RNA sequence: GCCGGUGUAGCUCAAUGGUAGAGCACCCGCCUUGUAAGCGGACGGUUGGAGGUUCGAUUCCUCUCACCGGCUCCA
């Protein structure tokens, strides 16, 4: 049998010899690093038998290798848990993007202190270096086996499978139903770490039993594991909740209830900058700003359909025997404004923009700092247009969104087109049409995207843009949604050129989306070191001694008059201390003023990187700052 | 909402079935300071809240609130 290995070496493989044996015999060096193999394009175990054709050796770093590796790590962990907690029932244990997890049904509940113990047992299992064996069983046989073992979840999975034959992986006494492939032996698993413990419902269904999930990660390369653990630390260092406290930006209060944000003075400055940006950019693009109330009668939400599809997320109350709703969305308000007078095709597209604050009930367990709150403000707009204008308008929204995200320093995006969810309104025909238009707008702009089936909103399909931050994490960002439904429900019309009534279509779109969430992402993206134009305080003025206070205030006045956010640190403290405080507050520039500066009308500029430049004329400092703010520069150093 | 964890001074964190402690911050003094912590002093707590067990609870138990890690959902 002729086998072409890695596209270069052709050799005659003896029958009955596994890929691993072949490697050991012919390429012993490779055998040690091999994770799996690909036979004619199919990912298989190293214990598979080669076939005539191409054989590729998959090593760590190759596509698919991490998945195989971590899947085996999950099995080793499951084996360890079974050994330590006999009677544990296994659910599922897949590899995920940065690691793996396994869900267990264990009689006793695990605590984080148990993880090291499990990790140790895993290490022991890897030392045993038990071969991982793939077997093919009759499904019925597997059902009997797992039933006998008391592994009900496995039985349930088996019973739902269509195949007659299933694959089983075995290492030592540990047997698991699994598609594979896996590492050839437990000893091949080298660097791993158990990370956290969590509850997870069997099959993600809250009506099913709650299982205990252990998350972990594994790498073949020790330095990669280290790097990943450093990444986790870095993420913690950037945590907006922590930075929000340290930088005095915002707070939450038990007395006020969870999920509602209090912006402190510095936090409000940053929020104001974001809002100013949005207002001016919307105005530039022909949007008209509107303001709508926070409370609407319940009836309106029946008309809009929210009462049917969004009720669980809405806050209600009753007064004078009348039902009221705290608005969870801004659209109905904008529709009411549209309807205040007859509209003509000449009015379209009509673009209403609102910094609309909405309240949505979120289950207590999902709240998360600014990223998931109950009260938030959206940069929300609704575009009423003709069907013909739809595609162009969607395109403009997308361009607007990308422009804005780039202005705030985000460069990498992922785009998703979400289609009709199960619970939704409108005809299939409308959905199909809207979905098509969205897809075409993306294609026209040459934006690559993937389809997210069933993830649309109840009234229409949508485009979601996810942004990647400085350390590569992605976050939910702008969305553009087509809506053929609400105009119908509210009976919106416009007079066409033919002088007949027509139905407009509507686009819901946000640019930065929820301001709170965007704000949180912004903090994490910059780790609190905001670019000059966003920094709540741009310059800390540090007098060397009391006699420099007058000049310090003069500098402050000059800067403030020109719109630079400057503050004098008047504390009778050492220069070192005042510098330290400014650094910890991540203020872009510290201006030290002493005798020399007073005499020469200069400032000594220290940037956030710790570099100082002395004798900078005040006027020069001011003009350079204004210039950078104007161009929204992300340069951090004074010399940059 | 559910599973697990956590809750002690403004912040970060100790301690313990027997009087609750440190560092930093705040306040007051001294120092008048040149690029990341000058020195001293004073103040500061119903140990998240309510109930229970106990001679005695911050510690053990129950309930509750909030937060953290997830499940699910979403801007």
Asked if A564 and A615 count as a contact pair (C-beta separation under 8 A), the reply is no
Which carries the bigger pLDDT value, residue A162 or residue A217? Answer: A217
A574 touches strand B (CB under 7 A): yes
A422 touches strand B (CB under 7 A): no
Residue A514 confidence (pLDDT) above 90: yes
Q: How many CB atoms lie within 10 A of CB A315?
A: 15
Long-range pairs of A562-566 with CB within 8 A, sequence gap ≥ 24: A562/A622, A562/A626, A563/A626, A563/A629, A564/A538, A564/A539, A564/A622, A564/A625, A564/A626, A564/A629, A565/A269, A565/A535, A565/A536, A565/A537, A565/A538, A565/A539, A566/A537, A566/A538, A566/A539, A566/A540, A566/A541, A566/A591
| Residue pLDDT, tens place only, A161-174 | 888 899 999 999 99
- Annotated catalytic residue within A79, A151, A212, A378: A378
Query: Which residues face A607 on adjacent strands?
Result: A589
Distance A246 CA to B46 C1' (A): 29
Q: Is A33 helix (H, G, I), strand (E, B) or coil?
A: helix
Predicted pLDDT of residue A292: 97
Range A175-203 average pLDDT = 92
Distance A258 CA to B62 C1' (A): 25
Among A628, A630, A629, smallest CA distance to A640 is for A628
- Annotated catalytic residue within A114, A380, A464, A569: A380
Which carries the bigger pLDDT value, residue A455 or residue A137? Answer: A137
A240 touches strand B (CB under 7 A): no
A604 touches strand B (CB under 7 A): yes
CA angle A30, A32, A34 (to 5 degrees): 65
Q: Which nucleotide is nearest to A615 (CA to C1')?
A: B34
- Annotated catalytic residue within A70, A71, A382, A606: A382
Output DSSP code: residue A253: E
β-strand A539-543 against A589-593: which pairing, if any? parallel
* SS3 letters across A470-494: CCCCEEEEEEEEEECCHHHHCCCCE
- Annotated catalytic residue within A79, A114, A151, A331: A331
Residue A534 confidence (pLDDT) above 90: yes
Unique residue bearing structure tokens 């052709």: A10
Q: Which nucleotide is nearest to A481 (CA to C1')?
A: B75
Predicted pLDDT of residue A31: 80
Residues of A 460-499 whose CB lies less than 7 Å from any atom of strand B: 464, 476-477, 479
Q: Which nucleotide is nearest to A508 (CA to C1')?
A: B75
| Residue pLDDT, tens place only, A111-138 | 888 898 899 999 999 999 999 999 999 9
Predicted pLDDT of residue A105: 94
The ipTM, to two decimals, is 0.93
Distances (CA, A) of A570 to A33, A48, A559, A600, A634: 63, 74, 17, 21, 29
Predicted pLDDT of residue A477: 92
Residue A309, classified by CB atoms within 10 Å of its CB into exposed (0-12), middle (13-18) or buried (19+), is: middle
Residue A556 tokens read as 């402050």
| Residue pLDDT, tens place only, A384-399 | 999 999 999 999 999 9
| Residue pLDDT, tens place only, A402-444 | 999 999 999 999 999 998 888 777 788 888 888 999 999 999 9
Using CA atoms of A177, A181, A182, A183 in order, give the dihedral in degrees to the nearest 10. 160
Distances (CA, A) of A596 to A51, A600, A602, A604, A631: 82, 6, 8, 9, 32
Predicted pLDDT of residue A145: 94
Q: What is the distance between the alpha carbons of residues A66 and A64, in angstroms, rounded to a whole number?
A: 6
Position A500 confidence tier, pLDDT thresholds 50, 70, 90: very high
Percent of chain A with pLDDT over 90: 77
Beta-carbon-side half-sphere exposure of residue A634 (alpha carbons within 13 Å)? 12
Radius of gyration of chain A (CA): 31
Predicted pLDDT of residue A24: 84
Q: What is the distance between the alpha carbons of residues A264 and A250, in angstroms, rounded to a whole number?
A: 5
Predicted pLDDT of residue A53: 84
Percent of chain A with pLDDT over 70: 100
Unique residue bearing structure tokens 């570099």: A611
Position A308 confidence tier, pLDDT thresholds 50, 70, 90: confident
Distance A569 CA to B28 C1' (A): 20
Position A287 confidence tier, pLDDT thresholds 50, 70, 90: very high
Asked if A206 and A195 count as a contact pair (C-beta separation under 8 A), the reply is no
Distance A250 CA to B21 C1' (A): 30
The yes-or-no answer on residue A331 being catalytic is yes
Residue A519 confidence (pLDDT) above 90: yes
- Annotated catalytic residue within A89, A343, A360, A628: A360
Among A481, A391, A388, smallest CA distance to A440 is for A391
Output DSSP code: residue A12: E
Distance A109 CA to B62 C1' (A): 20
Predicted pLDDT of residue A41: 86
The yes-or-no answer on residue A264 being catalytic is no
Residue A515 tokens read as 């301001």
Helices of type H across A538-574: 549-561
A201 touches strand B (CB under 7 A): yes
Picking from A1-15, A271-285, A300-314, A412-426, which range would have the lowest pLDDT averaged per residue? A1-15
Asked if A578 and A569 count as a contact pair (C-beta separation under 8 A), the reply is yes
Predicted pLDDT of residue A453: 86
A613 touches strand B (CB under 7 A): no
Unique residue bearing structure tokens 């929210």: A306
Distances (CA, A) of A72 to A92, A121, A260, A551, A600: 13, 15, 43, 68, 69
Range A232-244 average pLDDT = 93
Unique residue bearing structure tokens 């949005």: A278
- Which nucleotides of strand B lie under 7 Å from a protein CB? 1-5, 11-12, 26, 30-38, 65-75
A111 touches strand B (CB under 7 A): yes
Predicted pLDDT of residue A15: 79
A547 touches strand B (CB under 7 A): yes
Predicted pLDDT of residue A19: 85
Among A458, A260, A292, smallest CA distance to A360 is for A260
Residues of A 247-276 whose CB lies less than 7 Å from any atom of strand B: 252, 254, 257-259
Range A567-582 average pLDDT = 95
CA angle A205, A210, A212 (to 5 degrees): 125
Asked if A194 and A119 count as a contact pair (C-beta separation under 8 A), the reply is yes
Distance A572 CA to B39 C1' (A): 13
The yes-or-no answer on residue A462 being catalytic is yes
Distance A528 CA to B27 C1' (A): 30
Residues of A 352-411 whose CB lies less than 7 Å from any atom of strand B: 360, 362-369, 372-374, 376, 378
Range A65-81 average pLDDT = 95
Among A83, A84, A82, A102, smallest CA distance to A94 is for A102
Distance A67 CA to B73 C1' (A): 27
Domains of chain A with CATH codes: 2-59 (3.10.20.30), 67-235 (3.30.980.10), 250-526 (3.30.930.10), 539-630 (3.40.50.800)
Position A29 confidence tier, pLDDT thresholds 50, 70, 90: confident
The yes-or-no answer on residue A378 being catalytic is yes
Residue A193 confidence (pLDDT) above 90: yes
Distances (CA, A) of A579 to A186, A247, A564, A568, A571: 54, 15, 19, 12, 12
Residue A26 confidence (pLDDT) above 90: no
Distances (CA, A) of A200 to A83, A209, A210: 22, 9, 6
Position A260 confidence tier, pLDDT thresholds 50, 70, 90: very high
Q: Which residues contact A362 (CB under 8 A, 6 or more apart)?
A: A259, A313, A372, A373, A374
Residue A464 tokens read as 């979601």
The yes-or-no answer on residue A382 being catalytic is yes
Q: Which nucleotide is nearest to A583 (CA to C1')?
A: B36
Q: Which nucleotide is nearest to A516 (CA to C1')?
A: B75
């Amino acid at each position: 049998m002729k086998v072409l290995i890695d596209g270069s070496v052709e050799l005659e493989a003896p029958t009955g010899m596994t890929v691993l044996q072949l490697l050991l015999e012919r390429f012993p060096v490779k055998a040690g690093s091999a994770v799996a193999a690909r036979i004619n394009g199919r990912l298989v175990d190293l214990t598979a038998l080669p076939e005539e054709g191409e054989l590729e050796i998959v090593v760590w770093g190759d596509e698919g290798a991490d998945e195989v590796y971590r899947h085996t790590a999950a099995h080793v962990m499951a084996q360890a848990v079974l050994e330590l907690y006999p009677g544990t029932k296994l659910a599922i244990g897949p590899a995920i993007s940065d690691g793996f997890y396994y869900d267990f049904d264990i009689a006793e509940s695990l605590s984080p202190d148990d993880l090291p113990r499990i990790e140790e047992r895993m290490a022991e299992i890897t030392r045993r270096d038990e071969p991982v064996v793939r077997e093919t069983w009759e499904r019925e046989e597997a059902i009997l086996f797992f039933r006998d073992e008391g592994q009900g979840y496995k039985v349930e999975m088996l019973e739902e499978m269509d195949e007659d034959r299933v694959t089983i992986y075995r290492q030592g006494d540990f047997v698991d139903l699994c598609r594979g492939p896996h590492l050839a032996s437990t000893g091949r698993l080298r660097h791993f770490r158990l990370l956290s413990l969590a509850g997870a419902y069997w099959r993600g269904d809250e009506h099913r039993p709650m299982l205990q999930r252990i998350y972990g990660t594994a790498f073949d390369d020790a330095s990669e594991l280290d790097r990943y653990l450093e990444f986790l630390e870095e993420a913690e260092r950037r945590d907006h909740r922590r930075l929000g406290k340290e930088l005095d930006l915002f707070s939450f209060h038990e007395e006020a209830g969870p999920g509602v944000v209090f912006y402190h003075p510095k936090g409000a400055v940053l929020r104001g900058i974001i809002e100013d940006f949005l207002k001016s950019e919307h105005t530039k693009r022909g949007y008209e700003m509107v303001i709508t109330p926070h409370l609407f009668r319940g009836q309106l939400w029946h008309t809009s359909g929210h009462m049917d599809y969004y009720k669980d997320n809405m806050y209600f109350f009753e007064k004078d025997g009348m039902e009221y709703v705290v608005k969870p969305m801004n659209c109905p308000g904008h529709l009411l404004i549209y309807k205040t007078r007859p509209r003509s095709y000449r009015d379209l597209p009509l673009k209403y923009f609102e910094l609309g604050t909405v309240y949505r009930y979120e289950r207590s367990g999902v709240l998360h700092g600014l990223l998931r709150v109950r009260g938030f403000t959206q940069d929300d707009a609704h575009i009423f247009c003709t069907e013909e204008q739809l595609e162009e308008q969607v395109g403009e929204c997308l361009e607007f969104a990308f422009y804005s995200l780039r202005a705030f320093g985000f460069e990498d995006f992922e785009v998703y087109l979400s289609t009709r969810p199960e619970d939704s309104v409108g005809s299939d025909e409308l959905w199909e049409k809207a979905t098509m238009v969205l897809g075409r707008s993306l294609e026209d702009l040459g934006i690559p995207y993937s389809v997210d089936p069933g993830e649309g909103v109840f009234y229409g399909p949508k485009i979601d843009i996810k942004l990647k931050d400085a350390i590569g994490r992605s976050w939910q960002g702008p969305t553009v949604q087509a809506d053929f439904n609400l105009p119908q429900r509210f009976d919106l019309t416009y007079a066409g050129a033919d002088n007949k009534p027509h139905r407009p279509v509507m686009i819901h779109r946000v640019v930065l989306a929820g301001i709170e969430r965007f704000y949180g992402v912004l903090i994490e993206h910059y780790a609190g070191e905001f670019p000059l134009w966003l920094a709540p305080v741009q310059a800390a003025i540090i007098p060397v001694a009391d006699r420099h206070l007058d000049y310090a205030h003069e500098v402050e006045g000059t800067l403030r008059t020109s719109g630079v956010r400057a503050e004098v640190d008047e504390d009778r403290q050492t220069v070192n201390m005042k510098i330290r405080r400014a650094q910890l507050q991540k203020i872009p520039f510290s201006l030290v003023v002493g005798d020399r500066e007073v005499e020469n009308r200069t400032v000594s500029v220290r940037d956030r990187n710790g570099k100082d430049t002395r004798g900078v004329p005040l006027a020069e400092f001011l003009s350079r700052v204004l210039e950078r703010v104007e161009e929204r520069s992300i340069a951090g150093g004074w010399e940059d």
